[in-house]
Amino acid sequence: MAAARSYPPGNGGQRRASAPVPGLSGDAVLPDPLDHLAGENRCRRVICGFLDTLVAALPHPDPTLAGEVLTHLKTALPRHIRDEEGDLFPLLRRRSQTDADINDTLDRLIADHAHASAMLEPIQAALERLVLRGTAFTAEEATAITAFAARERRQLIVENGIVLPLARVRLSQSDLKSLRLRMLQRRHTDTDTAH
């Protein structure tokens, strides 16, 4: 029910992953990098809904939707994780040295990111097969896709409910400027290596 509310009317009730999200397209980064990460988290939630939609549509999931999800999983998601683990989390640790709870939370998120990343290869292969050959997911792949979406949603609860609000309180303007610069550099580097 909640997933249905996240889609605007029209197009069969589904919002495409490529639908524009203000300020989140291409190599742009919003002026407030924490707003940008929160926006990417909203996109991740939509992608989770798309994964559920693809599984629910078996034996005839939409290859076009699968292609949009695959693009996100191969580009936007890894870059988002690098933004967090490479820059946001270290900055937050630096500003939270005496807070063991947030450091434990960040450690658990990093471990969860690694586990989710290990799940991605067969999921991406299944999506790619659907896109290129129209071959539906096996029961095992559908289970893995559902488990991945559930894991992503749990990460989003922690990131949106704990990490980003704490970062808004603890990071300085200088930290935010540095974070945004690193995010911009990463997008420029990712664009260069993609060509």
Residue ranges per structural domain of the chain = 32-190
**CATH number for the domain running over 32-190:** 1.20.120.520
How long a stretch of residues is the chain? 195
Instruction: Choose among 89, 91, 87: nearest CA to 158.
Output: 89
Residue type at 124? Q
pTM: 0.84
Note whether 47 and 40 are within 8 A (CB): no
pLDDT tens digits for the chain (195 residues)? 333 323 222 333 344 444 444 445 567 899 999 999 999 999 999 999 999 999 999 999 999 999 999 999 999 999 999 999 999 999 999 999 888 899 999 999 999 999 999 999 999 999 999 999 999 999 999 999 999 999 999 999 999 999 999 999 999 999 999 999 999 999 887 655 554
For 79, 176, 177, the CA distances from 31, given in Å and listed in that order, are 18, 9, 9
Closest among 17, 13, 18, 19 to 57, alpha carbons compared: 13
The span from the CA of 138 to the CA of 127, in Å, is: 11
**Hey, what amino acid is at 108?**
R
